[in-house]
A and B are shown apart, each in its own frame.
Chain A
Amino acid sequence: MATLRDIRTRIASVKSTKQITNAMKMVSAAKLRRATEAAMSARPWQETLTATLQRVASGSGEIEHPLLESHGSVKSVLLVVVSTDRGLCGGFNGTLLRQADVWLKAQQAMDVSGAVHADGKVRALRVRTFGKKAREFFKARSYTVEGSRIEITPAGLSAEVQALSDVLVAGFSLPADDAGRYDEVYVAYNQFKNTLTQIPTFVRVLPLSIDAAADAPAGGSGADYVYEPKGAAILNTLLPLYLRTLLLQCFLETGAGEQAARMTAMDNATRNASDLIKSLTLDYNRGRQAAITKELIEIVSGAEAL
């Protein structure tokens, strides 16, 4: 049985753990606000860009551009996994990485047209990771990891996205017989739904898909626009911008989601610590009372014996 002294030490240690988790929760809450602001401030840009692309798409009828075109048979697939550097954020990374593993296994079982193949191993699968958690996860597994980037600061994010999109576009544009070519590129990231929910999401970024706007775009008279330069030339600028926007969005949502997940996890930890302290304190007081009672009995029975 634990002595009173043991319980006292235990209470002290749980208390200091609680202080730490509570502090981490506060820090995450502050960082979450900044991260959601960053994600929000990217929105006007994104909406205008998407609207313009849709207008180009619906205005000029058939649009053609190498980045929009499917390669037909899919021989190689790249998965970009966006995780975080630090843990202590609940199942945030774990869920995503486990699903990425399942996703890759499913891809492995497909042939070039996407049908499930008996033997599998027809598609070449490659992985690019962001964040330490994804790097550790794939290190222990037998996938081809092309590149790993860690410790991406908010300030360095634009450059990182730029570099990634350059790699993707270059790989996607290689000739069909080149071993380094990507036929399809997907991004796995945690979609930031709200503070409590982040959804592991797999999104195809190449070939890009732009749905012609079903509804009339805001501002109306979409077809009357004059484009300079015309057709594919303007897409040469707009599509890479669009790709970068998609990628940036994945990173920003991961950033916001990480803080939200950590905040929730640390809130739970703090609450658990409080519960533990309460029950330990109860044990301690009970033990102390028992000791006092025992001593009293000893004194009383000692007095009676005289």
Chain B
Amino acid sequence: MPQLEVRIVTPRAILLQTEAEGVQAPGEIGEFGVLPGHIPFVTTLKPGVVVVHGAGGVAGVTRRFNVGVGFVEAGPDRVTVLVETCEEVLGSATAAH
């Protein structure tokens, strides 16, 4: 299965850099999902939760991040989330059974 290259970047550090199957994010004009092969687009984010599916290239592993204001740049094979504040939701990494 094709993978997305996901990065979550804040002014203080690169918080996440990994392969993933898909990303869900709280866009300013609506929650949206990105899968590999998505058309290139840029959108702004409102504070909410970014969900990374299949993080680290492992199917079923989901990681969640609380994010502040920022934006997303998505391409066919990569997603860059730029936010001013971001924190991983504790205990959010869930493996499939």
Which of these, A38, A42, A44, A234, contacts B42 with CB under 8 Å?
A234
A248 touches B41 (CB 8 A): no
Residues of A within 8 A of B (CB-CB), count: 27
A221 touches B12 (CB 8 A): no
Interface of A is mostly: helix
Q: Would you call A56 an interface residue if the criterion is a C-beta within 8 Å of the partner chain's C-beta atoms?
A: yes
Q: Would you call B54 an interface residue if the criterion is a C-beta within 8 Å of the partner chain's C-beta atoms?
A: no
B75 to chain A, nearest CB (A): 7
Instruction: Kindly report which residue of chain A lies nearest to residue B73, judged by CB atoms.
Output: A52
Contacts of B85 in A (CB 8 A): 158
Given A48-B82, A237-B71, A241-B70, the answer on whether A226 and B10 have CB atoms closer than 8 Å is no
Contacts of A227 in B (CB 8 A): 41-43
B60 to chain A, nearest CB (A): 29
Proximity bits, B23-66, A CB within 8 Å = 1, else 0:
00001110000000001111110000000000000000000000
A226 touches B39 (CB 8 A): yes
Q: Would you call B95 an interface residue if the criterion is a C-beta within 8 Å of the partner chain's C-beta atoms?
A: no
| Contacts from A to B (Cβ < 8 Å) | 38, 41-42, 44-46, 48-49, 52, 55-56, 158, 219, 221, 224-229, 234, 237-238, 241, 244-245, 248
| Contacts from B to A (Cβ < 8 Å) | 9-14, 27-29, 39-44, 69-71, 73, 75, 80, 82, 84-85
